[in-house]
A = this chain, B = another copy of it.
Amino acid sequence: MKECRIIIMGFGAVGQGIARAISLKKAMIKQDYGVELKVVAAADSSSSAICQEGLDEMMLVHIKNSEGRLSAYRDCGTNMSGLDVLDAVEYDLLMEATPTNIETAEPALSLTLKAFEQGKDVVTSNKGHLALKFSEVTQAAEDNGVEFKYEASVGGAMPIINFTRDTLSSCGIESIVGILNGTTNYILSRMTSEGSSYDITLKESQELGIAETNPTQDVEGIDAACKTVILANSLLGIDATYDDVEVEGISNITSQAIELAKKDGYLIKLIAEVSPKNLKVAPRLVKMGSSYDVSGTLNMATIKTDLAGEITVMGLGAGSLETASAMLTDVISILKTKY
Q: Which A positions have Cβ atoms within 8 angstroms of B?
A: 21, 24-25, 28, 151, 157-159, 162-163, 166-172, 288-289, 291, 293-294, 305-316, 319, 321-322, 324-326, 328-329, 331-333
Contacts and interface: CB of A to CB of B under 8 A. Distances in A.
A322 B307 contact: yes
A155 to B, nearest CB: 10
B24 A307 contact: yes
A170 B25 contact: yes
Given A159-B167, A167-B163, A293-B289, A325 B308 contact: yes
A320 to B, nearest CB: 10
25 contacts: A151-B167, A157-B307, A157-B311, A158-B311, A159-B163, A159-B168, A163-B167, A166-B166, A166-B167, A167-B167, A167-B329, A169-B329, A169-B333, A288-B289, A289-B289, A291-B314, A307-B321, A308-B322, A309-B319, A311-B314, A311-B315, A312-B313, A312-B314, A313-B313, A313-B314
A163 B159 CA distance: 9
Contacts of A158: 311
Given A159-B168, A167-B167, 16 more contacts: A24-B307, A28-B172, A157-B311, A166-B166, A167-B329, A168-B325, A169-B332, A171-B329, A307-B325, A308-B316, A309-B315, A309-B316, A310-B316, A311-B315, A312-B313, A313-B313
Contacts of A324: 307
B312 A308 contact: no
B163 A325 contact: no
Contact of A325 (B157, B162, B170): B170
Nearest to A163: B167
A308 B315 contact: yes
Nearest to A157: B308
Q: Report whether over half of chain A's contact residues are helix, strand or loop; otherwise say mixed.
A: mixed
A93 B157 CA distance: 35
Contacts of A305: 325
A149 to B, nearest CB: 12
A325 B311 CA distance: 12
A167 B324 CA distance: 13
Contacts of A159: 163, 167-168, 311
Nearest to A336: B169
Contacts of A151: 167
Contacts of A168: 159, 325, 329
A307 B162 contact: no
Nearest to A151: B167
A271 to B, nearest CB: 17
A324 B309 CA distance: 12
A134 B172 CA distance: 32
Given A312-B314, A315-B310, A325 B171 contact: yes
A309 B326 CA distance: 11
Contacts of A333: 166, 169
